[in-house]
């Protein structure tokens, strides 16, 4: 039974990835706004209604990995020692996810290029990142045993997400020898020490 479920999930993941690849190719060739869901479906050899079983909107194809990345961050946080300072645990969790990003630089660069020139995708990205902050803040509040009136978990979550966003943008737009996990760790260290210094 579990093997059947595993095979079904792999097929679903592969189909999702195929739709993403076809869509990104079309976006680059025709432009995001000029590309229709019907065209994506035809190129991926699926029915248009099948598209919506994988993605809510066309924008979501460009930022398809957001949910997976958030899940990885939370998993990494859960593996950190309970007595580890929260900022250090966040640094380690985000650096681990940055290592995942580093293995897909070409895919990320293509998606970033589409996002940078498409306001609706930028807006959707920011909306999803706000969701990240909310979920991460709730997770941190539990980890820290923080009172509902304590703004610290929300502040930490917002700052950590901003660190990842800024590091990723810098890494993709200013190619250099420094790896993304190192950029992320350095940004956490700078903020931890205080930017004013």
pLDDT at 168 over 90: no
Q: Give residue limits of the domains in the chain.
A: 2-56, 63-193
2: pLDDT strictly greater than 60: no
196 band by pLDDT with thresholds 50, 70 and 90: low
13-29 average pLDDT score: 92
Architecture of domain 2-56: Orthogonal Bundle (1.10)
> What local confidence, expressed as pLDDT, does residue 5 receive?
60
Q: Are the CB atoms for 125 and 63 separated by under 8 Å?
A: yes
Higher model confidence: residue 147 or residue 12?
147
63-193 belongs to which homologous superfamily? Answer: Tetracycline Repressor, domain 2 (1.10.357.10)
Please provide the average confidence, as pLDDT, over all residues in the chain: 89
Model pTM?
Answer: 0.82
Q: Specify the pLDDT at position 174.
A: 77
Least confident of 26-40, 45-59, 70-84, 166-180: 166-180
Residue carrying structure tokens 């999803």: 128
Per-residue pLDDT, averaged over 78-106, amounts to 90
pLDDT in the model for residue 66: 78
| pLDDT range class, residue 65, cuts 50, 70, 90 | confident
pLDDT greater at residue 107 or residue 22? 22
Q: How many residues does the chain have?
A: 197
- Check if 2-56 and 63-193 are the same fold: no
Query: What single string gives the DSSP state of each residue in the chain?
Result: -HHHHHHHHHHHHHHHHHHHHHHHHHHHHH-TTT--HHHHHHHHTS-HHHHTTT-SSHHHHHTTTHHHHHHHHHHHHHHS-TTS-HHHHHHHHHHHHHHHHHTTHHHHHHHHHHHHT-HHHHHHHHHHHHHHHHHHHHHHHHHHT--TT--HHHHHHHHHHHHHHHHHHHHHHS--SS-HHHHHHHHHHHHHH-TT-
- Spell out the residues 6+ positions from residue 144 whose beta carbon is closer than 8 angstroms to its own: 86, 152, 153
Q: Which residue has the higher pLDDT, 28 or 178?
A: 28
């Amino acid at each position: 039974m579990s093997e059947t479920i595993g095979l079904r999930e792999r097929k679903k993941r592969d189909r999702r990835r195929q739709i993403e690849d076809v869509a990104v190719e079309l976006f680059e060739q025709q432009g995001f706004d000029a590309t229709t869901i019907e065209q994506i479906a035809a190129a991926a050899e699926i029915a248009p209604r099948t598209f919506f079983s994988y993605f809510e909107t066309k924008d979501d194809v460009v930022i398809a990995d957001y949910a997976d990345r958030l899940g990885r961050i939370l998993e990494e946080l859960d593996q950190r020692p309970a007595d580890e300072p929260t900022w250090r645990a966040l640094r380690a969790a985000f650096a681990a996810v940055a290592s995942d990003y580093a293995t897909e630089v070409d895919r990320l660069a293509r998606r970033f290029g589409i996002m940078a020139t498409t306001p609706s995708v930028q807006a959707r990205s920011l909306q999803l990142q706000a969701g990240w902050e909310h979920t991460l803040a709730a997770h941190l509040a539990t980890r820290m045993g923080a009172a509902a009136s304590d703004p610290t978990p929300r502040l930490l979550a917002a700052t950590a997400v901003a660190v990842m966003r800024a590091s990723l943008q810098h890494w993709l737009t200013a190619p250099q020898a420094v790896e993304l996990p190192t950029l992320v760790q350095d940004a956490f260290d700078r903020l931890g020490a205080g930017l004013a210094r």
